[in-house]
Amino acid sequence: MDFYENEDKNGIRYSWNVFPSSKLELSQLVVPLGALYTPLKQTKNLLTVNYNPVSCRVCKSILNPYCQVNYQNKTWICPFCHQGNNLPKGYHSITPTNLPAELFHTYTTLEYKLSRAPPPSVCYLFVIDLCTEPDEFEVMKERLLEAIALIPENAIVGVITFDRNIRVHELTFSQLPKSHIIRGDKRHSTKSIKEMLGLPKIPIVLERKDLTNNNKSNSSPYSTIHRALQKASNCEFVLSTLIEQLQPSYWPVLVGQRPDRAVGNAIHVAETILSSRAGAGRIVALLSGAGTVGPGSIVGFERTHAIRSHHDLLKGNAKYTAPAKKFYHEIAERASQNSHSIDIFSVALDQIGLFEMISCPRLTGGCICVCESYKHENFKKSLNKLFQPNSSHFDARIQVKTSQNLQYIGCLGNCFSANPQKAKKKPTISLSGTNVGKNLLQKSSQLRISTLTNNQTFAFQFDLVKKKPNQDQNEDNKTQQQQQQQKKQNKTQQQQQEIGLIQYRTLYQHNGEGWRVRVTTTAHRIVSAQTRFQLIKCGFDQEAAAVIIARESMNKTESAKPKNVVRWLDKNLISFSTKFGTYVQNQPRTFQLEKNFSLFPQFMFNLRKSPLLKIFGYSPDETTFHKHCLFQENVQNSILMFQPMLFQYSMKDVPKPVLLDSSSVQKDCLLLLDTFFVVLIWRGKKIAKWAKLGYQEQEEYKDFKALLQMPIRDSYNLLNDRFPSPRFIQCNQGTSQARLLQSRVNYSQRYTTSNQNIQQLPNLQFENNNENACLTDDVSFQVFMSHLKKFVCQN
């Protein structure tokens, strides 16, 4: 099966493309039944039509190629609920040779432009941290002015600055700047903030000149919300002047103390202001440090008290964490219900509290960008990409429909359940099939995403249900023998022809201008694993399965220690290899996996040692950022996070991908490492020496100059296509930054800790100078596989 072709056509990948026929058979496959769906992927031959879709009167599913159509009676039968429906008048001219687009099997993904009133303009509210170093603050203002110039003219903008207090700036008068100040060290309710700022109790539409009677009683044309939120085209000069005149915080910071930052209250005030206006919006928070004042603080004033680490979280020594997470979670729930997203740009050398604030971008579909300085290019590119046209869409809602032989379980992704009360009635089942307490699984079939990007991917989980007897058959006049024969025939037909249908419906504001619905319908064969096991095996997508397992492992880290999650991965890998491997009992050398299963153990090995599960050397904020990106990205980008790509450039051969192994690290070549978070160009000792001598500047060494430019050119393509923009590093062999490459490659050649001899494995070249060997406690992939084969063959 060509999984990539299906992804280009429908933007979806399944772990199993052929489904088993029962829950028991599915549980024996070890890897769960899941789908990775990118709703707004720019798919191949995507067709957009200018009319509303035809939906079922009972289950509201959309007309699709798998429906049965009666061309004479102009009716169609829904394949999800098996109810008959009348076709509208516009479809009465259809014939088997004259079909609308939604009935063609080539258009299983179709987009409809709805004839609805256009939504209100999108609002961008900037929350700026004033507790920033003066030189960094000046660079931040330059970057912010460049990004604001990209905002559409019909968009609504606003500015909030904060240090110890929060300032809501007005954008009406340039000669007399005015702002409303709110204390940051006090806990404010939403009601009290609205009263202080004079905000309306009922959300209003700022673009309307004639306000309704209800809005007149709550807000006048000169209220705070009208002065704080203005159309970009009307306040361009005022907004630019305001940002240029901003100054860092004037509050003194004593030696040994941290600045006063009311981060929690600033985001709380921003969401309260946006909630007073009808329409989608996004809060763009530029943060330079951790919150120390008011609700949402994660650390105290004294620098002698370090910010919590992973060890503190495991031991329960982080006293600020629990109340801060609860505070930000409440803000995130309100923001997601109001179609507001919260984006966090962390620009600091230390942690700012992403671990506590993660609910804000996770539940709203917001983005996270982590960098060390406003001067870095990844901050500039990420901020500019945020406002590029057609890069983000707003107020999205995804609904999943399944046929009666399938059951929808939940979604692992950056989204929010649209009907959480109904979701509580459903069983709490995770991908592993076990009951879990604290998890990130959204169990509602209706999801809300305040901001949806073209690359955002969600992991949906499904299960099989017990077959229900057909109650429509009238068996009163049949004998027992006829009934038994009929049952046998029906059973054989169901085993051969049973199909499971899944439909995804995504309603969203296209670039904030108009409403659209994208509908994707997929059909899958359901066969018995006892008779058609080989067919099920051929439908296994090991890349999609690895990403689904990675998301489930991240879900488990919410309630379990990383070591226990690694044990769970090992246990599942042993069960998986036992199920699908061929071997002779007690003979590990005979163990083999088929081609479409062979890479799965390698994925699990790299996942175990990746920053997603390896917390040593990483802060809670870094781990949170990595987890957020995994829940956001598609299959290929997700795999890069735990199994990076390594490309080799040399004078001897053309550029090519090489193994992520120490044998690929040679002193006479260049390497390009792509970990999704970092794009690194590594130069061997010989290449670095030649470049230092300036050979590339000489006419007779044109080929060497071209060699140096190849990885730089390829890396720019990666940097321009990715959001948020990754870090870009160039280093030489033996330097400090080269450790990023050393930490990700597999060391098949190493020193032993006992006698410092070299331990060589078969089929590997080893140089006399032993430069590729390393003293490490990490287990190599060869040793990992030998132990896996031993466990499987002795089971």
Domain of 333, in residue numbers: 123-131+154-379
Nearest to 740, CA basis, from 669, 659, 677, 663: 677
Site of tokens 């296509």: 721
Q: Residue 756: pLDDT band by 50, 70, 90 thresholds?
A: very low
* Residue 34 falls inside a structural domain: no
Q: For all residues of the chain together, what is the average pLDDT? A: 88
Q: What's the average model confidence in pLDDT over 190-207?
A: 89
Burial class (CB in 10 A: 0-12, 13-18, 19+), 272: buried
Residues whose CB falls within 8 Å of the CB of residue 717, separated by 6 or more in sequence, listed in order: none
Phi, psi values for residue 415, rounded to 5°: -155, 180
* Residue 199 falls inside a structural domain: yes
* Residue 322 falls inside a structural domain: yes
β-strands 281-287, 340-347 pairing: parallel
Residues whose CB falls within 8 Å of the CB of residue 92, separated by 6 or more in sequence, listed in order: 74
* Residue 601 falls inside a structural domain: no
The CA distance from 502 to 194, in Å, is 44
Q: Residue 759: pLDDT band by 50, 70, 90 thresholds?
A: very low
Tokens at 139, concatenated: 């660079």
Task: Check residue 681 and report its DSSP letter.
Answer: E
Per-residue pLDDT at 752? 46
Per-residue pLDDT at 434? 34
Q: Which of 22-36, 352-366, 379-393, 457-471 has the lowest mean pLDDT?
A: 457-471
pLDDT exceeds 80 at position 148: yes
Q: What's the average model confidence in pLDDT over 552-558?
A: 95
Question: Nearest 5 degrees, angle CA 757-CA 760-CA 763?
Answer: 165
Q: Residue 489: pLDDT band by 50, 70, 90 thresholds?
A: low
Nearest to 558, CA basis, from 640, 638, 441: 441
Q: What's the average model confidence in pLDDT over 613-638?
A: 95
Q: Residue 738: pLDDT band by 50, 70, 90 thresholds?
A: very high
Q: Which of 164-178, 261-275, 303-317, 750-764 has the lowest mean pLDDT?
A: 750-764
Residues whose CB falls within 8 Å of the CB of residue 33, separated by 6 or more in sequence, listed in order: 14, 15, 16, 19, 26, 461, 462, 463, 464
Percent above pLDDT 70 for the chain: 88
Task: Check residue 122 and report its DSSP letter.
Answer: P
3-state secondary structure of 1: coil
* Residue 107 falls inside a structural domain: no
Tokens at 688, concatenated: 């670095």
Tens-digit pLDDT profile for residues 48-63? 999 999 999 999 999 9
pLDDT exceeds 60 at position 371: yes
- Domain of 243, CATH number, reads 3.40.50.410
* Residue 318 falls inside a structural domain: yes
Percent above pLDDT 90 for the chain: 77
Tokens at 12, concatenated: 């979806």
* Residue 731 falls inside a structural domain: no
Identity of the residue numbered 702 = K
pLDDT exceeds 90 at position 247: yes
* Residue 343 falls inside a structural domain: yes
Q: Which of 379-383, 416-420, 522-526, 728-732 has the lowest mean pLDDT?
A: 416-420
Q: Which residues of 743-757 are buried (b: 16+ CB within 10 A; e: fewer)?
A: ebbbbbbbbeeeeee
Per-residue pLDDT at 225? 87
Q: Which of 126-135, 222-231, 365-374, 612-621 has the lowest mean pLDDT?
A: 222-231
Per-residue pLDDT at 437? 37
Task: Check residue 233 and report its DSSP letter.
Answer: T
Q: Residue 498: pLDDT band by 50, 70, 90 thresholds?
A: confident
Residues whose CB falls within 8 Å of the CB of residue 125, separated by 6 or more in sequence, listed in order: 157, 158, 159, 160, 229, 270, 273, 274, 281, 282, 283, 284
Q: Which residue has the higher pLDDT, 768 or 258?
A: 258
Omega cis (within 30) before 53: no
Q: Which of 383-397, 465-479, 612-626 has the lowest mean pLDDT?
A: 465-479
Number of folded domains that form the chain: 1
Site of tokens 């490459």: 741
The CA distance from 66 to 618, in Å, is 49
